[in-house]
Each structure stands twice: as C-alpha cells, then as structure tokens.
Amino acid sequence: METGQESRSPRWGPTPSVKDMENNASTASTKSLASVTIEVADIEAARRFYAAFGVDQHIRLRESEADSTGFRGFTLALTVSGPATVDAFLGAAVDAGATVLKPAAKSLWGYGGVVQAPDGTICKVATSAKKDSGPATREIDEVVLLLGVEDVKASKQYYVGQGLTVARSFGGKYAEFTADEASPVKLALYKRRGLAKDLGVPTDGTGSHRVVLGSTAGAFTDPDGFAWEAATRLDTAASRESAAS
C-alpha cells in the first residue's frame, strides 16, 4: 500500500508562513538525485508521448508490468515562464493522449494545470507569472519530482542520512534537496494527502509507485516505498538511449 502524500513546493501550493521556513542550504551535496526512471507497459508509446510533451530529456523509461492502482504517490512538476507556455505544454500532452485532471487556471500563486499521461504518470505544469511577457515557448525552467510522503520531517531526515543536502524546508509541509547542474530533475517532498488534493485525484493507491530514482548514494528504499538504485548522471545521449530502449 502506498502511503499518503501532499506534494507542493512553494510554487505549487500555498505559501508557508515565515516562521515555518527553515533555510537549510549549507554545504554542496555530493549525493543527489541523478535520474528518474518511469516504469511503463509500452515503451514505444511512452517514448512518443514524453517526446511530444517535451520532457524526454529529463527522464528515463523502463518496461514494467507491475501492478499499480490509484494514486502512485508522485508527480513530475514543470515550471515554465508564463501562462501561454503552460497552455502549450498541456495542449501538447493532451494531443499526445494525456487526460486532463485539472484544466489550467489562475490561482493565488500563479497559473497551472494537471494532466495524466497514458501510462498513468501525473504531470503538473505551472508558472508563478499571471500574465505573459512574451509568446509561448517550449522551454522548461525546472522539473521537480515531488514525492508524496506520510511524514515530511521524518522522510527529510532519512534522506539527509543517505547523504542528500536540504536546500530549503518549510516545517513539516515541504522539503527540497540540493541538485547540481548535472541533475535533470530536482527532488522534493510533500505530504501525500495534500499532493493528491493538489493534483485532483483520490489519495488511495496500491501496488508499485512505477518510478525508480537513480542515486549517487547507492541503492535503497525509502520509508514510503520509493525505490532508489545506483545510477550515473542522465546526460543527453543517455536520455535518448534509455527512452528508446
């Protein structure tokens, strides 16, 4: 059984109060998230979807028939420059077969929407800008893998014990880890229940998370069942090769 998780970085959800904010960025981390592998039933179909969506250079794909029902406890969160670019990415995803979970809309923190890929992965695209300063682009400012966890503080300490460095933390609500320039995706934690609510899906889910994290810290499984394996950095060539395999 997957555990409940709320996933919102400050740009994805309500802004925590100043007293909750702990800036824990200290020394540069020597261990971090090196790759994200999404497990899918149909590699070729997934490759076409993620290429059309525009994130194929950020993830790897692996064939898997592991049982998974309901919410898998994570999302790929894309930050882009403005509302027009949000609409462009979401439109490309829908054209490639994604299902809209939350139509793009304005909120207190900006503008964004949520879609579910044909393989079941949930993706959110958002911007803090409420107005466009230029035409839509295909540029992604940042990709964050948000893991839904039962206890953000406990999971944060677990990852610190694995050698990761906290970049910023908001009490028991959210934690983000340091990523170096070679990391294609940032790692962040949020409570599962809040993440499911933010994405517009029920909290319940069973079976595999259908995502494997590559770690420069070696192989382990975290308290919420997310599996990590030893991995090298995901460069452009490796991304193409893995996505096509």
Do β-strands 74-79 and 122-127 pair in parallel, antiparallel, or remain unpaired? parallel
pLDDT in tens, 95-118: 999 999 999 999 988 999 999 999
Contact between residue 77 and residue 185 where contact means Cβ atoms under 8 Å apart: no
Rounded distance, CA 231 to CA 183, Å? 12
Mean pLDDT of the chain: 86
* 227 compared with 16, residue with greater pLDDT: 227
Domain map of the chain by residue range? 18-244
CATH second-level architecture of 18-244?
Roll (3.10)
pLDDT value at residue 11 = 52
What value does the mean pLDDT take over residues 137-149? Answer: 97
pLDDT in tens, 12-52: 444 444 344 444 444 444 688 999 999 999 999 999 999 99
What value does the mean pLDDT take over residues 215-232? Answer: 89
